[in-house]
Structure 1
């Protein structure tokens, strides 16, 4: 917000940014020390609720004779500030706009719930202020907090939102504010006519303009106050930080999804390998859980090694009933070879060919 002071008058033009409440109080207190009557010329499309409340409280608690002249529009928080004194006047071609407080936040459901509760408290505060200044019922003024409600000077006077109508300070083409996209657009109808040329010197403007353009700041220009530009920089930083965090969270989710997919595939491979081992007779079915734990803990490669070095389990009955493979040439087998490859055949040989068995036995034990 741009503040300019001339004698007992302080002109307040523009968006109410964070920090503007303190800056207003500094200027206002200086005027309180010097004058009994103070005039505040207001033209704003609203802004920070908390800084607006600081401005409201400073005016409302003042022991001086304070008047507010709405010289363009008093929208949103500007409308609330205008209710800080009973001596509020609006130019004949001005407007007031009242609506419920709004904002945005970022975080968990709990954060949103707390923020919604805060907005409800602020809305109640707005309603109380409007009831006090107009003398109207809560039910009546609460209708003004639903949607954007515009009041011309005549309508504002009728609703007791202002004490009187004053002559316009500048001529603007007649227009209907309800047909415009936002209060900022309505504000712009008057803004250029009220920004004094001596608020910022050329060097300040020349410094701000390239910064605003380089950073792509929104809602400010070279005529904006230092506070407004700093706030816009902070807002851009916060937006970019939130965007980066959202991108990082998305990448983390992709990695988590890939890890889950790989784990699913690995578990499927372990299950398949164990099923093959059971089918091949290398392990019992009731031991599947044990080998599944090995596969999940040590990996499928370790499980493959275990099964590769494992002989096929044979039942006693299977061993007894298994006939020797007649296609294998056993003529050159020694005693150890027989014991390893065909122990049952070696046992049978002692009966079917005792002479050969004796030769193998003596060769083995050097007899």
Structure 2
């Protein structure tokens, strides 16, 4: 997923996560369309950013929508905001930057083509784009000539330096500054991306655990064991129905000592064909008026058994409901189960609490 949209209709807020390269991982034109769509119903839109930049054209589509939006746009730099991603961030009404994050600005260029090889038309277009980017980056009060100098030198900023330069409004204090601020740009970019993907994986595992009737904090091994047990239960129940139909076939003469092993193999390889063969005999017997006192040769008996197999498999797939946690403790599990949107808001508004709850949860399952 290039990015995701989360909408809180009650608070009229929305969040878009912009992680990856614009034009490769992120379809900038689609994101601009989605922002415009959200702008109709949301009063505030949060954009979470971890991007090394990318396509200027697609980035400008996002910027144009942000600048024309009636909603209050709040950008949050959660890792890297470089090149075009920095311009997207600065175009917001408010920019918050994690204390370990990094921001970079530079002049735009045509990939793989030196400026000396550009036509006069291309140079004119590039100069126009460069001026537009300088204007956007200077919107918080930094002198435009100063911005031009910083862009020409391809300047990297820490969070505090970006705030001092007038590119961001506030620095969000986190307990991870010492851990993350000394990472290289690729390392920090990948760390934040992997944590996001890992969080998604854990959410998916919670859903699987819930469907299996396990606690949401079940380990992967517990989930695998539960799936294995459920498969064994379904197989045992199916085998029970096969045995019943084999007995049925022996009663009406379709299954004999000579062909019993072949019929068992047929039941394993193609149960529907196996059941159809037994059913055909039952239908013929019923038409001829045969009827044992235990009713094994009556066609309705087969229908009951056939439905029973379907019911057994469906019932096994439904699973049990996850037990209710009555503790009332609002930990990571509680939010995932009862109010996942609150976790997304917490990541934006209370990153320290978000990280503490996540770390507590990870410690509990290690």
Q: TM-score range by the shorter chain?
A: 0.3 to 0.5
With structure 1 as the length reference, what TM-score do the two structures score?
Answer: 0.48
